[in-house]
Amino acid sequence: MKVVVVRFAPSPTGVLHIGSVRTALFNWLYARHTNGKFLLRIEDTDKLRSTDENKQLIFDALKWIGIDHDGEVVIQSDRLERHKQVAYELVENGMAYFCYCSQKELVEKKEIAINSGKSYKYDRTCRDLLEKKTGIPYVIRLKSEIDGNTIVNDLVQGTVRVNNSQLDDLVLLRSDGTPTYALSVVVDDHDMGITHVIRGDDHLTNTFRQIQIYKACGWNIPNFGHIPLIYGVDGAKLSKRHGAVSIVEYKDLGYLPEALSNYLLRLGWAHGDDEIISKEQAIAWFDIKNVGKSPSRFDINKLTHLNEHYIKEKNGEDVIEYMSQFMGVQPDGAAKTRILKGLKSLKERAKTIVDLAKSSMIYVEIPSEYDEKCYKFTEGIHLKLLREFCKNMEDSSSDFYEKAKKIAENNNVKFVEMAQSLRAALTGNTISPSVFEIIDIIGIEESRKRIEKFIEIFEK
């Protein structure tokens, strides 16, 4: 069996869209599943829009989500001479030709066609010119097949065909000597030994033209798999309008790479009803043939649900590592020990790493501000409850839960009033893990300090 060689070929012309990440993931899984190779090519021939920063974002994002590539990264702009050479070879072999039509002539012909209600296609004026003209700018055009059909047995879409009469003699080399995108892709895929081109179905029309180039070059045509694009819940193509679309945004919102990767995998591919799929299982099960034909809808709630799952699963040290970038501090020593102790309860309420980083601050520092929902617990009776609790803390032998219950009873208030007052004082918030767990973790001394500070601030 021939080794599978796939590639991910992003253009560094903008942020990395999660749809592209899914394309990368499918390619990567297919390579790992088949013990093949996953290559990375940066398509940076659009000099105006490609930036080094975007290129770096691609590398960082792939690393973050755990997609590693084989071999050296191929930089498309390094290979322009080779692409150009292929264009001239095709002319020599009679598979392509110099076209001397000026831009002006072409525009005029196009206008005439459109005005008479026809669709425009280059009329092949120069296709059979016998002599080479000198001193006139030219482009190189492919002698596209005129008769018959071009058929793609797409691994995802099934058999797709186009009548060759619909295809143009496409430009391979522009008049400024630069290769066109279609030519560059084909030459690179061929030279890199790509066996399977797996990409978004927005490239399907390019595929028909690219196949013409393969044929003209006499090269093996790779297998193609065009995966449906990702749509928003409203059925429109996923865009900024639907919220975050770049992978960095999800990272910044506190999503774990495992969650995003699991979710993207499930968008368009399924293994029975399995929702939670580990990377190892994905590699074992993934096959491009099982990718669905219909567009998938991005549902942030499902992603969040997976995120909650992976947050719970992740070990303490790793979680703290992720959290620290959102905390403004790297919790170490005592703070880290406390967070580790309280982590299980904190995780119960966390949808994202950002949530977790926020809620963990109770183990890092004394509240410096109080949520306005806490103000309710600054009224006289609540301060009285807190004062009594503080006094009771001197005796550390008995259970603080029992003490709190008794104080509430003695003051004729519900237990929840007591607990919420403690919560406000200890955490500066109205939602947190059990206050008795918090007292246990931060210790009696610090708990008392926090309660006293609260009383002092709000006492009139």
Active-site residues, by number, are 240
- Binding at 418: pick from ligand GLU, Zn ion, none (beta carbon under 5-8 Å per type): none
| 344-347 CB contacts, 8 Å cutoff, 24+ apart | 345/433, 345/434, 345/437, 346/433, 347/311, 347/312, 347/319
Q: Is 309 exposed, middle or buried (0-12, 13-18, 19+ CB in 10 A)?
A: middle
188 interface partner picked from ligand GLU, Zn ion, none, CB below 5 to 8 A per type: none
Record the tokens describing residue 138, joined without a space: 């030219």
Residue 99 interacts, among Zn ion, ligand GLU, none and using kind-specific CB cut-offs from 5 to 8 Å, with Zn ion
CA distance 55 to 26: 20
Is residue 308 within the footprint of ligand GLU (CB under 6 A)?
no
Closest CB to ligand GLU among residues 6, 385: 6
* Residue 130: C-alpha distances to residues 97, 98, 441, 451 (Å): 10, 10, 89, 95
| Spatial CA neighbour of 322 closest among 310, 334, 337 | 310
In the shown chain, the binding pattern of residues 40 to 79 toward ligand GLU, with x for contact by CB under 6 A and - for none, equals: ---x------------------------------------
Give the nearest distance from C-beta 172 to Zn ion in angstroms.
13
CA angle 138/209/219 to nearest 5° reads 95
Query: Of 126 and 253, which has the nearer Cβ to Zn ion?
Result: 126
Residue 43 binds which entry of ligand GLU, Zn ion, none, CB below 5-8 Å type-dependent = ligand GLU
| Cα 173 to Cα 160: distance, rounded to the nearest angstrom | 28
Shortest Cβ 134–Zn ion spacing (Å)? 16
Helix 204-217 with 80-92: angle, nearest 10 deg: 60
Instruction: Choose one: 6-14, 26-34, 134-142, 347-355; the region binding ligand GLU (CB under 6 A).
Output: 6-14
Q: Does 195 bind ligand GLU (CB under 6 A)?
A: no
Q: How many CB atoms lie within 10 A of CB 422?
A: 26
Shortest-Cβ-distance residue relative to ligand GLU: 199
Q: How far apart are CA 278 and CA 244, in angstroms?
A: 24
Rounded CA separation 308/302 (Å): 10
In terms of CB distance, is 11 or 427 closer to ligand GLU? Answer: 11
Q: Tell me whether residue 225 or residue 433 sits nearer to ligand GLU (CB atom).
A: 225
Rg over alpha carbons for the chain, rounded to the nearest Å, is 32
113 binds, among ligand GLU, Zn ion, none (CB under 5 to 8 A by kind): none
Q: Does 199 bind ligand GLU (CB under 6 A)?
A: yes
Q: How far apart are CA 81 and CA 270, in angstroms?
A: 43
Cβ neighbors of 344 (< 8 A, separation 6 or more) are none
Instruction: Report in angstroms how near the CB of residue 133 gets to Zn ion at its nearest.
Output: 10
Find which of ligand GLU, Zn ion, none residue 125 binds, CB within 5 to 8 Å per kind.
Zn ion
**Given 29, 40, 185, 260, the residue binding ligand GLU (CB under 6 A):** 185
Shortest separation between residue 56's beta carbon and Zn ion, angstroms: 42
- Rule CB under 6 A: is residue 190 a binding residue for ligand GLU? no
For residue 383, give the 3-state DSSP assignment: helix
Contact track, ligand GLU, 203-222, x by CB under 6 A: x-------------------
Options 4, 5, 6, 9; binder of ligand GLU; rule CB under 6 A: 9
Nearer to Zn ion, 101 or 413 (CB): 101
Q: How far is the CB of 156 from ligand GLU (least distance, A)?
A: 14
Pairing of strands 96-99, 139-142: antiparallel
Nearest in space to 91 (alpha carbons), one of 142, 144, 146, 145: 142
Looking at the DSSP bridge assignments, the partners of residue 296 are: 230
Closest approach of ligand GLU to the CB of residue 120, in Å: 25
Nearer to ligand GLU, 9 or 383 (CB): 9
CA distance 321 to 310: 15
Query: In angstroms, what is the minimal distance from the CB of 223 to ligand GLU?
Result: 13
Q: Rounded to the nearest whole angstrom, what is the least distance from the CB of residue 112 to Zn ion in the complex?
A: 16
395, with CB counted inside 10 A (0-12, 13-18, 19+), is: exposed
Residue 9: which of ligand GLU, Zn ion, none does it interact with, CB under 5 to 8 A by kind?
A: ligand GLU
Query: Residue numbers of the site for Zn ion (CB under 5 A)?
Result: 99, 101, 125-126
d(CA 36, CA 4): 5
Footprint of ligand GLU (CB under 6 A): 9-11, 43, 185, 199, 203
